[in-house]
């Protein structure tokens, strides 16, 4: 009996890492004043039909449920978020700053760094169309990397604005309705052969040289970026970002700013992506609610690979994942088992992590068990009761304490 391909089991060691990742993400997002939300795992397929990119639409876990509804397991968060905000926009002070950490599902070809169920943190600012909001989002995205010890030598934020390419099309007298199609050429520019790209560009009456020249525009002469860069500078983040006109993102709903975060080593793996989607909430609410919005997502798969692949971040992981058992109760006299169980109850209620042997076992074997679960202290209950012998296992020192002092002692240590 096997799990499905592209899905993961999280054994305790793997789950401990997942908790480490999510706890830190959650703490950082909160420190930026973002609050957490979530939506359903299953949504009507309708929600993704017009709004997501072509690629996503072919990758859906889509089916007809027992109630004859066309449904799919969510492939991304943004349409759900837009639905939530559209329904209750008036109830919240703007800008709305929300985040979520949840699983997503895409029927991808199994390959390195791609799974069919994966987790993402999604962060969005809704109701503010300014470069200040864009900078705040990029600042948060960067902080969500730095909290694990990643530095500007480890990752890079590449920024672009889709409007620059819209202007480029207009300047070359090409129809703006074909922007989406044109952007997908730019998206594949670095992965495809020159002649393939050139061929595609011919349908736009454009040549590769003109595109290449535009790609080389120096940052200083790109209009509209100075405010964003000033905002990033104020936050001390200019070393983390770079203008890159090849970044266009695959999703159809982006309207302006787009950005992607890359691993500087390792074939430039993409770690995160996002952008501005000013029309999506209006589309989803059929014009009832119109709010500018921007957001990004970091996926857990590539991100985990990066953290586990670097020495300096791996050390932090090792430290964070050390097993936290506080006390192992060693029952040296089986007559005292009732008192031991009562003590376990008391200590656990005061928040101490307590373990002990469910079965009568030799004392030496109980100390072995204490080691296996990584207990910090062994609390030996025997003839001295109501006093107990407390051993600090790593240092092999011990002291005698009254059972009533134990909660306080273990809570402090």
Q: 226-234 and 131-146 helices cross at what angle (nearest 10)?
A: 40
Q: Of residues 103-122, which lie at the interface with a copy of itself (CB under 8 A)?
A: 103, 105, 107, 116-117
Q: How far is the CB of 145 from a copy of itself (least distance, A)?
A: 13
Q: How far is the CB of 10 from a copy of itself (least distance, A)?
A: 4
β-partners of residue 226 are none
Of 257, 322, 265, the closest CA to residue 17 belongs to: 322
**Does residue 133 belong to the site contacting a copy of itself (CB under 8 A)?**
yes
β-partners of residue 354 are 327
**Does residue 50 belong to the site contacting a copy of itself (CB under 8 A)?**
no
Residues binding a copy of itself: number (CB under 8 A): 90
Q: How far is the CB of 198 from a copy of itself (least distance, A)?
A: 34
Residue 235 phi, psi dihedral angles, 5° rounding: -85, 0
Q: How far is the CB of 128 from a copy of itself (least distance, A)?
A: 6
Alpha-carbon separation of residue 112 from 60, 161, 305 (angstroms)? 19, 29, 10
Q: How far is the CB of 301 from a copy of itself (least distance, A)?
A: 14
Residue 42 phi, psi dihedral angles, 5° rounding: -110, 135
**Does residue 386 belong to the site contacting a copy of itself (CB under 8 A)?**
no
Contact 242, 146 (CB under 8 A): no
**Does residue 363 belong to the site contacting a copy of itself (CB under 8 A)?**
no
Contact 88, 98 (CB under 8 A): no
Q: How far is the CB of 230 from a copy of itself (least distance, A)?
A: 9
Q: How far is the CB of 143 from a copy of itself (least distance, A)?
A: 7
> In 70-178, where does DSSP find H-type helix?
78-88, 131-146, 162-171
Q: How many CB atoms lie within 10 A of CB 108?
A: 14
Contact 281, 85 (CB under 8 A): yes
Output 28 or 245, the one with its CB closest to a copy of itself: 28
Q: Of residues 20-49, which lie at the interface with a copy of itself (CB under 8 A)?
A: 27-28, 30-33, 35-44, 46-47
Residue 254 phi, psi dihedral angles, 5° rounding: -70, 140
Q: Which of 210, 373, 400, 408 binds a copy of itself (CB under 8 A)?
A: 373
**Does residue 235 belong to the site contacting a copy of itself (CB under 8 A)?**
yes
Tell me which residue has tokens 């004392």.
Answer: 363
Q: Which of 76, 124, 136, 154 binds a copy of itself (CB under 8 A)?
A: 136
User: In the stretch 58-77, what mask flags binding to a copy of itself with x, by CB under 8 A?
Assistant: ---x-xxxxx-x-x-x----
Handedness of CA 398, 401, 404, 408 (dihedral sign): negative
Of 78, 134, 95, 86, the closest CA to residue 297 belongs to: 78
**Does residue 218 belong to the site contacting a copy of itself (CB under 8 A)?**
no
Output 185 or 370, the one with its CB closest to a copy of itself: 370
Q: Give the binding range for a copy of itself (CB under 8 A) out of 227-235, 239-247, 256-264, 387-395.
A: 227-235
Q: How far is the CB of 372 from a copy of itself (least distance, A)?
A: 5
Q: How far is the CB of 413 from a copy of itself (least distance, A)?
A: 16
Output 198 or 344, the one with its CB closest to a copy of itself: 344
Tokens standing for residue 271: 């770690």
β-partners of residue 156 are 262
Q: Which residues of 331-340 are buried (b: 16+ CB within 10 A; e: fewer)?
A: bbeeebeebb
DSSP for 205-270, written as a single string: T--HHHHHHHHT--GGGSTT-HHHHHHHHHTT-GGGEEE-TT---S-TT--SEEEEEEESSGGG-E
Q: Which of 17, 18, 56, 289 binds a copy of itself (CB under 8 A)?
A: 18
**Does residue 4 belong to the site contacting a copy of itself (CB under 8 A)?**
yes
Tokens standing for residue 388: 């107990």
Q: Of residues 83-102, which lie at the interface with a copy of itself (CB under 8 A)?
A: 83-84, 86, 88, 93, 95, 98
User: In the stretch 322-361, what mask flags binding to a copy of itself with x, by CB under 8 A?
Assistant: --xx-----------xx--xx--x-xxx-xxxxx--xx--
Q: Of residues 244-303, which lie at the interface with a copy of itself (CB under 8 A)?
A: 284-286
Q: How far is the CB of 221 from a copy of itself (least distance, A)?
A: 24
Output 106 or 391, the one with its CB closest to a copy of itself: 106
Helix (H, G, I), strand (E, B) or coil at 339: helix
Distance of CA 192 to the CA centre of its chain: 29
């Amino acid at each position: 009996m096997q799990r499905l391909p592209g899905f993961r089991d999280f054994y305790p060691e793997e789950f401990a890492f997942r908790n480490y990742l999510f706890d830190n993400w959650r703490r950082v997002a909160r420190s930026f004043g973002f609050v957490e939300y979530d939506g359903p795992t299953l949504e009507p397929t309708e929600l993704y039909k017009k709004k997501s990119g072509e690629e996503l639409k072919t990758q859906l876990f889509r089916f007809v449920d027992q109630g004859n509804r066309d449904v799919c397991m969510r492939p991304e968060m943004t349409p759900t978020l837009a639905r939530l905000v559209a329904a209750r926009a008036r109830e919240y002070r703007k800008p709305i700053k929300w985040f979520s950490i949840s699983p997503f599902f895409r029927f991808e070809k199994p390959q390195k760094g791609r799974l069919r169920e994966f987790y993402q943190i999604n962060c969005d600012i809704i109701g503010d169309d300014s470069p200040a909001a864009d900078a705040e989002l990029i600042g948060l995205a960067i902080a969500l990397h730095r909290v694990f010890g990643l530095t500007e030598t480890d990752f890079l934020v590449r920024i672009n604005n889709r409007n620059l390419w819209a202007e480029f099309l207009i300047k070359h007298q090409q129809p703006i309705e074909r922007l989406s199609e044109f952007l997908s050429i730019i998206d594949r520019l670095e992965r495809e052969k020159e002649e393939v790209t050139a061929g595609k560009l011919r349908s736009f009456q454009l040549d590769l040289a003109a595109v290449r020249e535009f790609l080389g525009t120096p940052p200083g002469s790109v209009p509209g970026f100075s405010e964003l860069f000033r905002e990033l500078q104020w936050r001390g983040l200019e070393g983390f970002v770079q203008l890159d006109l090849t970044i266009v993102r695959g999703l159809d709903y982006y309207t302006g700013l787009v950005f992607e975060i890359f691993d500087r080593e390792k074939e430039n793996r993409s770690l995160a992506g996002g952008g501005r989607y000013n029309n999506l909430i209006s589309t989803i609410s059929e014009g009832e609610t119109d709010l500018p919005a921007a957001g990004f997502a970091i996926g857990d798969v590539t991100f985990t690979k990066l953290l586990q692949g670097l020495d300096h971040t791996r050390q932090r992981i090792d430290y964070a994942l050390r097993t936290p058992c506080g006390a192992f109760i060693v029952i040296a006299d089986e007559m005292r088992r009732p008192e031991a169980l009562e003590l376990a109850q008391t200590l656990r209620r005061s928040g101490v992590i307590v373990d002990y042997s469910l079965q009568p076992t030799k004392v030496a074997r109980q100390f072995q068990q204490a080691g296996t679960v990584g207990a910090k202290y062994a609390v030996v209950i025997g003839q001295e009761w109501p006093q107990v012998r407390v051993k600090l296992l790593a240092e092999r020192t011990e002291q005698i304490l009254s059972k009533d002092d134990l909660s306080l002692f273990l809570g402090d240590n």
